[in-house]
Structure 1
């Protein structure tokens, strides 16, 4: 099963890539629709759409899934239920493809809910308390988006159809827009629904490479991308999305700069890039958003595969303070990780540069507030800061683990996905730029053109020049950053604490209070127990006591 599945996915990937090229060359889309049932003159259709954007996205998902499954064959080699893991990953991939291919509002919910259920099963895969709590948090927050999506489906009934490709205005259009926006924000972990994304790191690393690159977290963005012609009619949609996306960028970048868990740093970098994509949508640039969605999936999956390889060889430790000097021990893994981090920072001519630079220059051209402008630049600098901070501690620090710990990455299940993903982390930006975008010219002053590389350069040298900055004695400030502006405790402990306090009070006052005293002091209870214990050898007394205890409650109930 786990050997045959990557081959099947590779064949599907080639088919979807060929189809996307045909759609691009002939410049058309294929829309298939047939009627399932007609309820009170409201037909329910089963619809499928094969367009350029959907097929490119499916090709990207299948390509990453192919590499992740090869990687998981070695990473999960000691797992007893590898077949079950492979089936859950396939269910996850199928749900994401259904979300892309089905433009019908009601049938789209199959893929949407399938993502939620399969992600929950994958997060709790290791079956411990931390995995269960992370899975429940992910499931409950995503359920908020599910509820709002169902409400938008019910309100769309006035239109007489649920085809998301041809929605028109009605009396409920503003409410539908708000509901779809909240659904997309919950699935893509925007503020205030961000706390589930780092918690989902309890899943196995191959799942993280899939979830945090091209599937679960991008489902909300792709939903808003599909609905963008309808949502962009309302100016308030762009304003709300711009506020929350820039705050998400800032919060995730600041939080990642204080973390020491390797997977959490990469997860928070994903959250920062999701904020960048949402910001692109808010600034009337959906094509740039989709462009960055594809390139980000490539280099972020590579980053997770490299991190998973390091974790595998250092006895599953994720603390970057205890891992160092890897560039001499694992040169290929470190080279691939460096490529992925440089692409994440937006270094020229790598995949991330082509899409990220377009979005940032678009933010300069748009008439945005000065506060948003500063937040965008600061978040861009922090992206380079936490990327190079992680690389410095992993590669360019003195060796901290024991010298007799000897390992090297010679396994082809690790090497082959890394080389393949590294190639596309370098070239996918240029390829997508030629395929997706028309000739784009942005005329900016030289000072603004040089501002982005200058900010990236300052952010990259900051970990080397002033590593003492985050050793501040202000623990409250550091805790606020590491807890994602208190979103983690607010979404976890504070919701549980009141109900736990009430249950403890009820238990102490009822179960251990008047109920226990009343039963202990009741005369016939003492009499019956004394009769039992004094004549425990007499079977007749036991039977009489049992009959008495059974009949008396029946009389009372009657």
Structure 2
């Protein structure tokens, strides 16, 4: 409840900063080494404070939900402490505009997420935790490389950088792709579903997966100087949307379907940044965070009542015994689809309109298909919850402690899009022709969802995210032992001949030969003359 109160308090502060446009920077200089200063700055701006408000509201709702959902857990207090450290790490990432100090939040998210994913301490959780940690290590490495490359600036303050190289932009983009699970780093996000459901609600809504998007928004005015990297990011983002949509429509695990929908929406945010629209990406990040946290809490309530089963084929007909949860689930699903006039409609619609202005028909078609697939798997969940046959008896009725946090998030899932639309844009930007695109895509996706509901399909390639988990697993490195004979032939072979040690041996051979009495002075003079002539010719032609 403290976090919810903090969220409402910071919302008034964010309104003040949004209306005035003020930015406050507090900086504490830690040390200075060889004219390079290391400082700890904090930035209070409309973007950061609004994002912190969203994080606080969602974190408070998740902890409120988990107080009953995990009330019987013997390590409940330890779980709450880890969640609070996780939230603190996210706030450090939001408010620190310094690359070195930013690692406090960036690495804090990675370490605590590993601890939360392996919370249940079994082999499945450990495997998922290792994939999550190792995938995020790549992003950490890219941040460290970016820190090394920006050493010539004399500081690491993002706000005061006067130039940035393409290599730094590439490092930042790759780091963001790993944190936000873009292809080919997508396998860890569904695997992280091994964590408790409240953790999934927090990780996949407003914290870990959005850290990469927020990093690109902070660095946008530098990476925009390399447009070819933004085109690369656009292709990756659209492919991620398409892959996640296809996989989610063939998945039967409830939490994995919601995780894949997160992956799809992250692709939408990344594509908005690639289209030079970082504020729209941030807008969609805020609206998506609310209804995605709501989706996970609804899933947790359904799993809690259905004796720990996550198969949607066993969760059918929940409307009869979980009416409040099912109502909230439908609100979240409709908002995810972009149904008028819920939160997802305002942000997602503007991003899809931006694709009409981008002169690339392939990306427009791919994103339209991905949007239709989003409607398909969302409405498929609603059909199962509303009209599916009841296959398992419920063990308990709805608990008020579980539904109250959902009601709070559901309220924001309905009104947040309209409120932020007024604050971010300041005017109504609705044209009838373009607005008809979203209902048409939703209807097309609904038709596909009905077909999949009545005639379920199965495809191992689509269901396994285009075999993305294979890249992150042991099978990817299994051919390496068969390369042992080739490696052995290389080590004592041409590598031995061309290495530094071989060159040293040849130099020593020439040295001893020059000391031999059989080598005449005329021969040495001829060799030295030829060497000097070759060096002179090389110098003249370079």
Name the TM tier (shorter chain): 0.7 to 0.9
* Counterpart contact for 1:165–1:227, Cα < 8 Å: no
Instruction: Report the Cα distance in structure 2 between the residues aligned to 1:30 and 1:179, rounded to whole angstroms.
Output: 28
> Pick from 430, 443, 449: which aligns with 1:463?
449
The match for 2:371 is 380
Displacement, 1:169?
2.0
The match for 2:42 is 48
* Counterpart contact for 2:181–2:209, Cα < 8 Å: yes
Kindly indicate whether residue 468 of structure 2 is the aligned counterpart of residue 479 of structure 1: no
Paired residues, number: 484
Kindly indicate whether residue 160 of structure 2 is the aligned counterpart of residue 166 of structure 1: yes
SS where residue 321 of structure 1 aligns? coil
* Counterpart contact for 2:338–2:438, Cα < 8 Å: no
The match for 2:273 is 281
The match for 1:428 is 416
Q: How does 1:304-323 map to 2 (within 5 A)?
A: 304-323=296-315
> Pick from 413, 418, 438: which aligns with 1:452?
438
The match for 1:529 is none
Kindly indicate whether residue 480 of structure 2 is the aligned counterpart of residue 492 of structure 1: no
Displacement, 1:38?
0.4
| 1:36-65: CA deviation from partner (whole Å, max 9, x where unpaired) | 100001111110000001000000000000
The match for 1:396 is 387
Kindly indicate whether residue 176 of structure 2 is the aligned counterpart of residue 149 of structure 1: no
The match for 2:534 is none
> Pick from 213, 220, 228: which aligns with 1:221?
213
The match for 1:530 is none
SS where residue 185 of structure 2 aligns? coil
Instruction: Report the Cα distance in structure 2 between the residues aligned to 1:24 and 1:272, rounded to whole angstroms.
Output: 29
The match for 1:254 is 246
Instruction: Report the Cα distance in structure 2 between the residues aligned to 1:159 and 1:470, rounded to whole angstroms.
Output: 57
Distance 1:110 1:374, change over 3 A: same
| 1:482-514: CA deviation from partner (whole Å, max 9, x where unpaired) | 1110111221132353468899xxxxxxxxxxx
- Structure 1 range deviating more: 321-330 or 103-112: 321-330
Displacement, 1:99?
0.1
Instruction: Report the Cα distance in structure 2 between the residues aligned to 1:316 and 1:406, rounded to whole angstroms.
Output: 11
Distance 1:406 1:132, change over 3 A: closer
Distance 1:412 1:499, change over 3 A: farther
Unaligned runs of at least 5 residues, structure 1: 1-5, 473-477, 504-558
Displacement, 1:370?
1.2
The match for 1:72 is 66
Instruction: Report the Cα distance in structure 1 between the residues aligned to 2:274 and 2:428, rounded to whole angstroms.
Output: 19
Instruction: Report the Cα distance in structure 2 between the residues aligned to 1:63 and 1:316, rounded to whole angstroms.
Output: 27
The alignment's TM-score, normalised by the length of structure 1, stands at: 0.84
Unaligned runs of at least 5 residues, structure 2: 485-542
The match for 1:520 is none
* Counterpart contact for 2:119–2:195, Cα < 8 Å: yes
The match for 2:429 is 441
- Structure 1 range deviating more: 262-271 or 322-331: 322-331
Displacement, 1:27?
2.1
> Pick from 185, 188, 205: which aligns with 2:180?
188
- Structure 1 range deviating more: 210-219 or 389-398: 389-398
* Counterpart contact for 2:422–2:428, Cα < 8 Å: no
- Structure 1 range deviating more: 18-27 or 255-264: 18-27
Distance 1:421 1:441, change over 3 A: closer
| 1:281-311: CA deviation from partner (whole Å, max 9, x where unpaired) | 0111111100000000010000100100000
* Counterpart contact for 1:255–1:268, Cα < 8 Å: yes
Displacement, 1:470?
4.2
* Counterpart contact for 1:377–1:452, Cα < 8 Å: no
Displacement, 1:21?
1.9
Instruction: Report the Cα distance in structure 2 between the residues aligned to 1:75 and 1:437, rounded to whole angstroms.
Output: 39
* Counterpart contact for 2:303–2:310, Cα < 8 Å: yes
Instruction: Report the Cα distance in structure 1 between the residues aligned to 2:304 and 2:251, rounded to whole angstroms.
Output: 20
Distance 1:466 1:67, change over 3 A: closer
Instruction: Report the Cα distance in structure 2 between the residues aligned to 1:38 and 1:490, rounded to whole angstroms.
Output: 43
SS where residue 313 of structure 2 aligns? helix
Displacement, 1:463?
2.5
Distance 1:466 1:414, change over 3 A: closer
Instruction: Report the Cα distance in structure 2 between the residues aligned to 1:231 and 1:401, rounded to whole angstroms.
Output: 53
Instruction: Report the Cα distance in structure 1 between the residues aligned to 2:59 and 2:92, rounded to whole angstroms.
Output: 15
The alignment's TM-score, normalised by the length of structure 2, stands at: 0.87
